[in-house]
Structure 1
Amino acid sequence: MSQTTQRTAPVRPATFADRLTAPLPAFRELLSVTWHGGLRANIGDIDQIPVLRGGTPQATGTVVTWVGHATFLLRVNGLTILTDPVWSRKIPGVRQRLTPPGVAWSDLPRIDAVVISHNHYDHLDAPTIRRLPRSTPMFVPANLGRWFTRRGFRDVTELDWWESATLGEVSFDFVPAHHWSRRTLWDTCKSLWGGWVIDKSIYFAGDTAYGPRLAEIGERFPFLDLALMPVGAYEPRWFTKGNHVNPPEAVQACLDVGARRMATMHWGTFVLSGEPLLEPVRLARAAWEARGLPRADLWDLAVGESRVLTA
């Protein structure tokens, strides 16, 4: 069983709307951007999205594999961890995925833990979660635990920002993000959203806009080796700026949290916005180079590609 640093169950607020740093999109704005095609990218470059399908990596040490979108398979200090696992071909509201998962479900090793950043459908996928053993430890945002316990999961740890838990030798710290949560018409901001710092070395951002909470993470965790940063789903900018970073902001966010390396994610899997398919990683490379940062420290991984992380 995972262990939190708290001794008693905390009292959670009924809503986390007071933590929003940008107003949520109004219905008329969502209708307008959809009507004018702002969320429909041209997928003509789909065959240029790099995909590797080689099964699970055999390397030792800390290994990072991009499965696709916000899903990573991490091997950290003896544990195998999934971030925001999505293996479904289709999620509600968007066309089916452009690229297959970089690791087939049948090739997965035993999963020791799962971390969830928030409850949006592209980060919390019910069909994928149902495929996991009910004994799998789940680390989730505050007020999202019941979603898992209702589905039979027995080891569920829900955390507020800056709360911490451990499993084996690995720490799991839930950290702030500039985002929001909603899964139905009735649960807007009733569960929290955020990122995870895993083993004090890997920062998984989930979804976030750019803002001061990123520097706060860097202040509290001064020895981060790698930031897993979203670089896609940012156009039209007037619509997404309060919820998603664009590629230059992702690079700045990596610098703010103080991570030496950045791995790109949240592009090339689902069409969630209006930018060209390959633009997120191209602009991330340009922003990285413009900062004079070592090219080897930008992990613009192919779907299914793995890297070994050295401190």
Structure 2
Amino acid sequence: MTQRPESTTGTTTTTAPSAATPKTSAPKTPTPKPPAPTVHAPTTRAPNPDAPDVPSPLASPYPPPAEPRPLAERRVWPRTFHDRLTAPLPGLKALARFAREGAVRPTADGLADIPRLPCAPAPLPRVDARTVAVTWAGHASWVVRIGGLTVLTDPVWSRRILGTPARITPVGVAWDALPRVDAVVISHNHYDHLDAPTLRRLPRDTPLFVPAGLARWFHRRRFTRVTELDWWEAAELDGVRFDFVPAHHWSKRTLVDTCRSLWGGWVLTDPDGQRVYFAGDTGYGHWFSRIGRRCPGIDLALLPIGAYDPRWWLADVHCDPEEAVRAAQDLGARRMAPMHWGTFVLSAEPVLEPLTRVRAAWEKAGMPREDLWDLPVGASRVLR
């Protein structure tokens, strides 16, 4: 996996300057007066979350959120989303180096700590409609309870996914232990985030929120309530708002569909204004501060901290632990829960390294220890 998303530039309009007509006296012998100063109409700019971060007294730091779009509407999208990349896809030189250096896997010493990976499955907490709770099922899969809904993020309950060894920790929540699934959000189409065997377990009328260009994949599997969104668009389900936001990543599932569908993260907001941000897969970059401005007051950020080594290959598309902490700060998030580590071996770092590094980075940043929710697989936390 190896890329990032691009910034789309909004259009700004300016009002042309208007000049006042010079005044002149009208005696018999006209005495010309100096022209009055030209008065310029104030320049106004529409709020643009994609513009460079230049302070302006006229621009609101919190652009108004988009109006929710209709659920499950059929839409026409561009053939490709290559223009959303924030870094180029790897060229021939990078691919040759990757082939020359072989499989990107930890050393034997790096794998030796697999038995020490934190895994503590427990029953899901009891919640009411005004409680927000999260349970880490492993990798990027969360059971999010918000606004009375049960929402799954990038659900992968399979033991294996294409191209990787079997998972090294068990799924943290048994499928049969789940309450009724009210909605699913998908960040992008890579196999470790979009798992067909898991999704086949869902009723075909489950509401699904997916990136632009991905609904066809679900329609072919007879899902009927698929809402696909572009960046900065939103939809609502039973009072819970689903905002689709940018990420520094890419998409590919077959040999011929590179960047044919979009990628991104999700901000879930309940009727009381409690917010959970789910990043999906992403590198570090400018999008985090813009998401924080567009969706202020994030209570919990679910951020990836693994699959980052070697950096020359993965830095554009996967945060390392220190970058994830910076991302949480850029977002203005009150709490952070690490994910995307300790489940599948996708890269070369030792399996426990992401956890030790994120704890050290959090402490170095001076953040309260209780606000780092470094959960074992299967554990839950409730927002208080």
The alignment's TM-score, normalised by the length of structure 1, stands at 0.95
Shift of 1:169: 1.1
Instruction: Tell me how far apart the structure 1 counterparts of residues 284 and 305 of structure 2 sit (CA, whole Å).
Output: 11
The answer (yes or no) to whether the contact 1:20–1:179 under 8 Å persists in 2 is yes
Whether 1:57 aligns to 2:121 is: no
Decide which structure has the larger Cα Rg and report it.
Answer: 2
Instruction: Tell me how far apart the structure 2 counterparts of residues 83 and 227 of structure 1 sit (CA, whole Å).
Output: 13
Q: Which of the pair has the greater relative contact order for Cα pairs under 8 Å at 6+ separation?
A: 1
CA 1:53–1:6: 2 relative to 1, 3 Å: closer
CA 1:232–1:92: 2 relative to 1, 3 Å: same
Whether 1:189 aligns to 2:259 is: yes
Q: Which residue of 2 aligns with 1:48?
A: 116
- Aligned pair count reads 308
The answer (yes or no) to whether the contact 1:37–1:274 under 8 Å persists in 2 is no
Q: Which residue of 2 aligns with 1:152?
A: 222
The answer (yes or no) to whether the contact 1:38–1:236 under 8 Å persists in 2 is no
Q: Which residue of 1 aligns with 2:138?
A: 68
Q: Which residue of 1 aligns with 2:6?
A: none
Q: Which residue of 2 aligns with 1:256?
A: 330
The answer (yes or no) to whether the contact 2:127–2:145 under 8 Å persists in 1 is no
C-alpha distance after superposition, 1:109-135 (max 9, x if no partner): 110000000000000001101111101
CA 1:125–1:28: 2 relative to 1, 3 Å: farther
What RMSD, in angstroms, separates the aligned Cα atoms of the two structures? Answer: 1.7
Mapping for residues 289-300 of structure 1, pairs under 5 Å: 289-300=363-374
Mapping for residues 157-306 of structure 1, pairs under 5 Å: 157-199=227-269, 201-306=275-380
Shift of 1:139: 0.1
> 1:22 corresponds to which letter in structure 2?
A
Whether 1:5 aligns to 2:69 is: yes
The answer (yes or no) to whether the contact 1:194–1:206 under 8 Å persists in 2 is yes
Shift of 1:34: 5.5
Instruction: Tell me how far apart the structure 1 counterparts of residues 95 and 379 of structure 2 sit (CA, whole Å).
Output: 35
C-alpha distance after superposition, 1:130-177 (max 9, x if no partner): 111101100000000010011010100000000000000100000000
CA 1:31–1:105: 2 relative to 1, 3 Å: farther
Instruction: Tell me how far apart the structure 2 counterparts of residues 34 and 308 of structure 1 sit (CA, whole Å).
Output: 45
Instruction: Tell me how far apart the structure 2 counterparts of residues 94 and 9 of structure 1 sit (CA, whole Å).
Output: 34
> 1:19 corresponds to which letter in structure 2?
R
Shift of 1:31: 5.6
Instruction: Tell me how far apart the structure 2 counterparts of residues 56 and 232 of structure 1 sit (CA, whole Å).
Output: 25
Instruction: Tell me how far apart the structure 2 counterparts of residues 271 and 138 of structure 1 sit (CA, whole Å).
Output: 28
Comparing 192-201 with 136-145, greater Cα deviation is found at 192-201
C-alpha distance after superposition, 1:9-68 (max 9, x if no partner): 554211100110111124663463355356212321101111112232224411100000
Q: Higher strand fraction: Structure 1 or Structure 2?
A: 1
Give the % identical residues: 61
Runs of 4+ deviating beyond 4 Å: 6-10
Instruction: Tell me how far apart the structure 2 counterparts of residues 215 and 257 of structure 1 sit (CA, whole Å).
Output: 5
Segments of 5+ residues of structure 2 without an aligned counterpart are 1-66
Whether 1:93 aligns to 2:163 is: yes
Segments of 5+ residues of structure 1 without an aligned counterpart are none
Q: Which residue of 2 aligns with 1:15?
A: 80
> 1:147 corresponds to which letter in structure 2?
W
